[in-house]
Structure 1
Amino acid sequence: MVRFKNRWLLVEFIPISQAQSSITTAVTSNLDGKLIWGALRQSILTNFGDTGWGAVASSLTVKYYSPTTNTAIIRVSRDHHKIAWAGLAMITTIDGTRYIPNVVHLSGTIKHAQLSAIQHNRVVVARYRALAKTPSGYQDSYDTFLEKSTLEIQALQD
């Protein structure tokens, strides 16, 4: 039996807005896993042609996306993960909105991608709280988001 080896990319999509209001832009974003997959497909086709797309097409999936933190976990085969990473780096717009894709973590197992995603969610929520200037003991909707997203991320299967 042959085991397929994958790489897991944790990617943060940073929206570029004219108002420079990152909190409202991140929350009201209409981005989802399907749009990310389509934009990545188009980027790979444009920059690497049919050969590049043929190499990654069978293994490329967006396993998780959080609209609150604009982070996604993307699975791709180990042999061709550099093509997918380069395709991500060349994405400028998704569905008419400008984004900067930032690869936060590259992992060989889903478990390490999950741990990194949970940690990254905590960092992003801390960043949102710092921008809002809330005290550290303040209870807000981000606490329930962190609990819910942690359970969702831990439930991911290969």
Structure 2
Amino acid sequence: MVRFKNRWLLIEFLPVHGQNSLEVDLTKASSSSSQNQTRIEGKHIWGAIKQSAISNFGDIGWGSVALSLNVKYFSPTTHICIVRVARDHHKIAWGAVTLLKSIEGVKVLPNVIHVSGTIKHAQLAAIEHNRIVIARYRAQAGIPAAYHEEYLRTSEDDINTLRD
């Protein structure tokens, strides 16, 4: 019996707020998403990757990743996403993610942070990246260190509960 091998992509979707500048601010990102009445979810990311794969790689490109593509986790606060795809065709999925311009009408700049062979390493990279992003938010807003500790604990628990 042969094991189905995957690649796990840790992706950050940075929202683009201005035409000339890229600002990622926790308070602005959450308020702008509530003003637009658009809340991005995992199914929207899956659909956007599908459309990007079809438009950039055709039906053959989409057909190669269609069965294995799965969005396992998405955090609307930090805009981090974990995507599973077959190992043989992960570069097509990676290319489709890189060529994304918007998700549900929200302009985004995708950033593939980490690629791993196991979900555990993707989880560890996501937890570490969440800590860095929250520390950056704290520094920008001048908020004390203990302010976002509850979010870090809950996001770490959510990420650790993911199973293959």
TM-score (norm 1): 0.93
Matched, 1:47 2:61: no
3-state SS, counterpart of residue 82 of structure 1 = helix
Aligned to 1:157: 163
Over residues 105-147 of structure 1, what are the superposed CA-to-partner deviations in whole Å (9 max), with x where a residue is unaligned? 00000000000000000001001001101244xx32x211110
Counterpart for residue 24 of structure 1? 27
Higher mean C-alpha deviation, range 76-85 or range 142-151: 142-151
In 2: Cα distance, 1:27 partner to 1:124 partner: 15
Separation in 1, partners of 2:163, 2:24: 35
SS of residue matched to 1:63: strand
The alignment-based identity, stated in percent, is 55
Structure 1: 5+ residue runs without aligned partners?
Answer: none
Among candidates 114, 120, 126, match of residue 117 of structure 1: 126
Partner SS for 1:17: coil
Contact 1:7-1:106 within 8 A present in 2 as well: yes
2:52–2:99 Cα contact (<8 Å) kept: yes
Q: RMSD across aligned C-alpha pairs, in angstroms? A: 1.4
For the residue of structure 2 that corresponds to 1:14, the secondary structure is strand
Give the alignment of 1:5-154 within 5 angstroms.
Answer: 5-18=5-18, 20=23, 22-28=25-31, 29=33, 30-136=39-145, 139-140=146-147, 142-154=148-160
* Secondary structure at the counterpart of residue 74 of structure 1: strand
Residue deviations 1:23-48 (CA, integer Å, cap 9, x gap): 23433441110110000000000000
User: 1:97 Cα shift?
Assistant: 1.0
Matched with 2:36 is none
The CA distance in 2 between the partners of 1:65 and 1:97, in whole Å, is: 15
